Amino acid sequence: MSVERVVLSFPGGGMRFNHRVAGAAIRDGHVLVCREDDDDYCMLPGGRVEMGEATDLALLREMAEELAMPVSMGELLFTYESFYGRAGDRYHELGFIYAIELPEDIRPGGAQPFLVREDEGHLLQFSWLPLEGPALTEASLQPPWIPQRLLSATGLRQHVIFRAPEPAA
């Protein structure tokens, strides 16, 4: 008997709730980001947590699905609550960001994106972007607080509450 997979993303109260997990792979002053083929922003690789699934296991599952390579889990870096709008919808997102390590031969440099894979009907493009300078802002890394927090990470877990400005009416 197979168990039904229930993704923790649902509408309610005029908003959509998402429970997301992501991995921060940092190597040689670069961070790995992912862009879906129909998005004008990028994000840390990861995805939605499923009902009954711990966030660390959800991240390992998502990395296996998206990257198709072994990933080592590191420490939990950030928990966050984000309130934002996109494409006319309002979101309440609860997320967890863990440090992750990719195989040693997966390094910044060379043509970007360095990996393109299909996942759930979308093409995912994975690129290494420098942590310092304008690249993460120019690529519109979301949520927008991530670049500065990654640069100033203290090694202590941080909880971030982010409220995007309401769009003008």
CATH number at residue 25: 3.90.79.10
- Provide the number of structural domains found in the chain: 1
**Domain of residue 49, residue span:** 9-163
DSSP reduced 3-state for 81: strand
Residue 14 forms part of a structural domain: yes
Q: Please check the confidence at residue 52 and state whether its pLDDT lies above 70.
A: yes
76 close to 160: Cβ distance less than 8 angstroms = no
Residue 125 forms part of a structural domain: yes
Q: What is the pLDDT of residues 110-151, one digit of tens each?
A: 899 999 999 888 899 999 999 999 999 999 999 999 999 998
Res 119: pLDDT: 84
Residue 128 forms part of a structural domain: yes
Residue 64 forms part of a structural domain: yes
Res 75: pLDDT: 95
Residue 2 forms part of a structural domain: no
